[in-house]
């Protein structure tokens, strides 16, 4: 199979960025349809208890998967830099090392996820009437953890070389598989919440398999050969060097979000269902944030690898501005239509009211979240992964958890928990502004390479 060359180091900056970012946006959109359709089926065909069980899934899933996704991001940075520098031997070794590493990590995550699910759910204070279904959903989900990890590894490879289209094509196919299986398992056969997780697992397996087949057949320097899938020591060190900070950041932030979820759980199953429904919608709202953050990492990595410092700066500014503007437009729309959006998942008046309250406390500040993520994407692409790690750990974890722990005891309201997000987004934004304006991170990249 022959393929066109993908590069973000030439031509119009805004065209290159948007042509890369739009497929990423659509890919993330279809990815969100997985969880959203699971919640819709469960909420409408099984009931609020089941919806609460599924809706509380986000923090726990990201707690365990976020670490490995961060490592996949590190692999992407290494591959993008080698691709931009046209160092195809290093790139090939990094690609095969990333796949070998993903296989090991996926197997480990399956064991950990299936084994520790009940313990973590109890620690989160999951109500007893919801706990059995939550355990069922999570265990079925983590049985397919290998597919999830490998899909993210494959997508990291595609994105590193500037190809955001093929992951989109495969994700569209798997999304329709997920929808069909959800309807069959839950609506028609009435199998319960475990079947919804199984539908997601099967569809993720389809997308991972399609990505792998393409990488086996593509006529390009990043082509995968099964006999070469092994650990290259230098490539593994580089992947860990750039991936561990992101992985640790994701996991520790997830622990903080688990604490937030535990506080939400204390307000009862109506709050769990309402806020859980918001979390599904939040995933859609964050799409511009994530697509520009990923585009910026690849753009910066490729252009710095090619030594294009001026182009890197211009692209970073363009991506950050676009990401923030799009996020805020979505935030305003979310505020206006909040009750209708929450009502899509549940018909409980109490759940809708609490979910709307939670959403309206947060959504007008989406531009702050966008800025932090886009700035972090720029710095990761430049090999400065430690900066966003320490910033987000200190603010999104330590300060967020400390604030909630103290504030909820003083004002025991759901809005107290909700306000932790815009507060910590504001603080991290200030730190990133100071760093980007004062630090000569572009030219320090040459020292990083050495």
Per-residue pLDDT of the chain (450 residues; tens, 9 = 90+): 444 555 677 778 878 777 777 787 777 777 766 666 766 776 666 666 666 666 655 556 666 667 777 788 788 888 888 887 888 898 999 999 999 999 998 898 888 878 887 787 777 666 677 677 777 777 888 888 899 889 989 988 998 888 878 888 898 898 889 888 888 887 777 777 777 778 888 988 999 999 999 999 998 888 999 999 999 999 999 888 888 887 777 777 767 777 787 788 778 878 877 887 787 788 777 777 777 887 888 888 788 877 788 888 888 888 899 889 988 999 999 999 999 988 887 778 888 888 899 999 999 999 999 999 899 888 888 878 788 888 888 898 889 889 988 998 898 888 898 899 999 999 999 999 888 876 555 555 444 443
Give the burial class of 11: count Cβ atoms within 10 A of its Cβ; 0-12 exposed, 13-18 middle, 19 or more buried: exposed
Where in the sequence is the domain holding 133, given as residue range(s)?
13-449
Say if CB 396 and CB 253 are below 8 A apart.
Answer: yes
2 inside domain: no
Say if CB 445 and CB 304 are below 8 A apart.
Answer: yes
Indicate the DSSP class of residue 189. Answer: S
In whole angstroms, give the CA distance from residue 240 to residue 238. 5
Rounded alpha-carbon distances, angstroms, from residue 281 to 53, 60, 97: 17, 17, 36
Number of domains making up the chain: 1
Q: What is the largest CA-CA distance in the chain?
A: 63
Q: For residue 204, how many C-alpha atoms fall within 13 Å in the half-sphere facing its CB?
A: 26
> What contacts 124, CB < 8 A, 6 or more positions away?
56, 59, 60, 258, 261, 262, 265
> What contacts 238, CB < 8 A, 6 or more positions away?
74, 78, 94
Tokens 């609506």 correspond to what residue? 187
Helix (H, G, I), strand (E, B) or coil at 217: helix
383 inside domain: yes
Cα-flanking dihedrals φ and ψ of residue 11, to 5°?
Answer: 80, -170
In whole angstroms, give the CA distance from residue 232 to residue 237. 9
192 inside domain: yes
What contacts 24+ positions apart, CB below 8 Å, involve 188-196?
190/45, 192/46, 192/50, 192/133, 192/136, 193/42, 193/46, 193/50, 193/53, 193/54, 193/133, 193/136, 193/137, 194/136, 194/137, 194/139, 194/140, 195/140, 196/38, 196/41, 196/42, 196/54, 196/137
Q: What share of the chain is helix, strand, coil (3-state, %, to 5)?
A: 85, 0, 15
Q: Hey, what are 223's tokens?
A: 């082509």
Q: Hey, what are 379's tokens?
A: 């710095």
63 inside domain: yes
24 inside domain: yes
1 inside domain: no
Instruction: Give the pLDDT of residue 350.
Output: 87
Q: Hey, what are 412's tokens?
A: 């025991």
362 inside domain: yes
């Amino acid at each position: 199979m022959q393929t066109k060359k993908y590069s973000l180091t030439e031509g119009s900056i805004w065209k290159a960025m948007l042509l890369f970012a739009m497929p990423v946006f659509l890919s993330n959109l279809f990815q969100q349809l997985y969880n959203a359709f699971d919640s819709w089926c469960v909420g409408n065909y099984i009931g609020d208890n089941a919806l609460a069980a599924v809706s509380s899934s986000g923090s726990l899933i990201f707690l365990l998967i976020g670490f490995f996704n961060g490592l996949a991001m590190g692999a992407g940075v290494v591959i993008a830099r080698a691709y931009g520098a046209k160092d195809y031997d290093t790139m090939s070794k990094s690609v095969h090392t990333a796949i070998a590493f993903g296989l090991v990590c996926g197997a480990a995550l399956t064991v950990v996820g299936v084994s520790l699910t009940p313990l973590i759910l109890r620690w989160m204070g999951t109500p007893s009437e919801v706990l059995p279904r939550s355990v069922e959903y999570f265990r079925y989900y983590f049985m397919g953890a290998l597919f999830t990890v490998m899909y993210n590894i494959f997508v990291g490879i595609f994105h590193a070389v500037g190809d955001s289209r093929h992951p989109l094509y495969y994700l569209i196919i798997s999304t329709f598989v997920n929808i069909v299986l959800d309807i069959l398992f839950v609506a028609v056969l009435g199998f319960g919440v475990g079947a919804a997780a199984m539908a997601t697992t099967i569809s993720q397996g389809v997308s991972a398999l399609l990505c792998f087949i393409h990488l086996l057949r593509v006529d390009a320097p990043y082509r995968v050969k099964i006999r070469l899938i092994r650990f290259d020591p230098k490539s593994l060190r580089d992947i860990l060097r750039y991936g561990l900070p992101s992985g640790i950041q994701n996991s520790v932030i997830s622990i903080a979000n688990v604490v937030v979820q535990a506080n939400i759980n204390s307000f009862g199953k109506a709050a769990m269902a309402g806020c859980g429904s918001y979390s599904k919608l939040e995933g859609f709202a964050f799409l511009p944030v994530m697509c520009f953050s990923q585009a910026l990492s690849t753009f910066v990595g490729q252009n710095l690898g090619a030594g294009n410092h001026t182009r890197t700066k211009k692209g970073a500014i363009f991506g950050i501005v676009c990401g923030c503007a799009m996020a805020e437009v979505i935030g305003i729309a979310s505020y206006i239509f909040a009750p209708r959006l929450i009502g899509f998942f549940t018909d409980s008046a109490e759940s809708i009211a609490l979910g709307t309250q939670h959403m309206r406390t947060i959504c007008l500040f989406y531009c702050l979240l966008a800025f932090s993520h886009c700035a972090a994407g720029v710095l990761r692409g430049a090999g400065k992964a430690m900066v966003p790690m320490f910033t987000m750990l200190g603010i999104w974890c330590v300060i967020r958890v400390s604030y909630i722990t103290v504030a909820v005891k003083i004002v025991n309201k759901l809005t107290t928990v909700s306000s932790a997000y815009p507060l910590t987004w504001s603080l991290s934004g200030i730190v990133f502004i100071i760093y980007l304006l004062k630090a000569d991170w572009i030219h320090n990249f040459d020292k990083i390479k050495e």
